[in-house]
């Protein structure tokens, strides 16, 4: 006596395949969510106690990154400028602007302005600004067009896959050290040839390989070891 109808086999197979596709779909949704701005905050403009505009100060006034971020070439931390740096100019200009009152109050009281961190790495990740700067990695490689941001936002996801993309092939991103802080720098593949030690390079790959040797950048195998970033 047949207990189950013949269609039961087809239903069982369809159920198994459906479960596999459902699990795969769930993993895909989670992966996309993990990369989304909801998790990474990439592109999200965070509220700040003072609406500081990099666009105005960098593009408009031509202030170099290192004027405010003084330790970026020597330290693991780029450095947040003390209020005194702001007051070098604002003791003379916009002295009564209401939105700059937190800056004046900080200068009077000696209490630091509580800025909201924009680019935040997990505590288990070691990152050193000076190493990247001195190896020829430009500011906008990681931070994007900061000089065009009225309000600063995180440009990249800063997830491990973003870092590994560069560590696996650093020659794609390296530039001459004197161009690290040039926000308008164009790699030779898209702009004019770049001259290094009297040699003109028209391709980023060849330029990057030359700079890797000159700046003593370690091999991709070495800089993708776990302990490079997780110490």
In a domain, 14, yes or no: yes
Print the domain residue range for 157.
121-229
Distances (CA, A) of 27 to 36, 86, 220: 14, 47, 30
Do 33 and 130 fall into the same domain? no
Q: Which of 212, 70, 210, 225 is nearest to 163 (CA)?
A: 225
In a domain, 114, yes or no: no
User: Contact 208/187 with Cβ under 8 angstroms?
Assistant: no
User: Contact 43/154 with Cβ under 8 angstroms?
Assistant: yes
User: Contact 115/49 with Cβ under 8 angstroms?
Assistant: yes
Do 34 and 125 fall into the same domain? no
Rounded distance between C-alpha atoms, residue 100 and residue 211, angstroms: 43
The full DSSP string for 69-136 is STTTTTSSS--PPPHHHHHHHHTTSSTT-GGGHHHHHHHHH-PPP-PPPSS---TT----HHHHHHTT
In a domain, 85, yes or no: no
Rounded distance between C-alpha atoms, residue 173 and residue 188, angstroms: 11
Rounded distance between C-alpha atoms, residue 93 and residue 110, angstroms: 20
pLDDT for the residue numbered 56: 97
pLDDT for the residue numbered 4: 64
In a domain, 63, yes or no: no
User: Contact 71/77 with Cβ under 8 angstroms?
Assistant: yes
In a domain, 51, yes or no: no
In a domain, 209, yes or no: yes
Rounded distance between C-alpha atoms, residue 45 and residue 126, angstroms: 25
pLDDT for the residue numbered 2: 59
Q: Which of 187, 227, 184, 228 is nearest to 211 (CA)?
A: 187
- Other Cβ atoms less than 10 A from the Cβ of 85: the count is 15
Read off the pTM: 0.84
In a domain, 177, yes or no: yes
- Each residue's pLDDT, cut to its tens digit, for the chain (231 residues) gives 556 676 667 777 788 888 888 888 888 887 777 788 888 889 999 999 999 999 999 999 999 999 999 999 999 999 899 999 999 999 999 999 999 999 999 999 999 999 999 998 999 999 999 999 999 999 999 999 999 999 999 999 999 999 999 999 999 999 999 999 999 999 998 888 999 999 999 999 999 999 999 999 999 999 999 999 998
In a domain, 175, yes or no: yes
Q: Which helix (H) or strand (E) holds 199?
A: strand 199-201
- Other Cβ atoms less than 10 A from the Cβ of 66: the count is 16
CA torsion sign for 55, 145, 128, 137 is negative
Total domain count, the chain: 2
pLDDT for the residue numbered 98: 95
> Which residues are within 8 A (CB) of 2 and not within 5 positions of it... i.e. 6 or more apart?
none
Do 131 and 223 fall into the same domain? yes
């Amino acid at each position: 006596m047949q207990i189950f109808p013949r269609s039961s086999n087809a239903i069982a197979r369809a159920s198994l395949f459906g479960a596999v596709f459902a699990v795969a779909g769930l993993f895909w949704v989670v992966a996309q969510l993990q990369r989304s701005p909801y998790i990474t905050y990439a592109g999200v403009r965070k509220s700040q106690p003072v609406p500081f505009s990099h666009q105005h100060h960098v593009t408009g006034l031509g202030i170099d990154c290192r004027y405010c971020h003084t330790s970026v070439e020597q330290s693991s931390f780029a450095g947040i400028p003390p209020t005194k740096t702001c007051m070098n100019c604002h003791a003379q200009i916009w002295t009564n602007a209401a939105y700059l009152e937190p800056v004046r109050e900080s200068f009077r009281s000696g209490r630091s302005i509580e800025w909201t961190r924009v680019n935040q790495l997990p505590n288990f990740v070691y990152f050193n600004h000076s190493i990247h700067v001195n190896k020829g990695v430009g500011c906008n490689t990681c931070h994007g067009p900061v000089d065009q941001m009225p309000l600063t936002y995180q440009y990249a996801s800063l997830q491990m896959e973003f870092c590994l993309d560069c560590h696996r092939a650093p020659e794609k991103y390296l530039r001459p050290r004197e161009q690290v802080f040039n926000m308008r720098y164009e790699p030779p593949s898209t702009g004019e040839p770049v001259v290094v030690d009297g040699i003109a390079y028209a391709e980023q790959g060849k330029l990057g390989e030359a700079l890797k040797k000159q700046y003593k950048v370690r091999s991709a195998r070495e800089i993708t070891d776990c302990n490079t970033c997780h110490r």
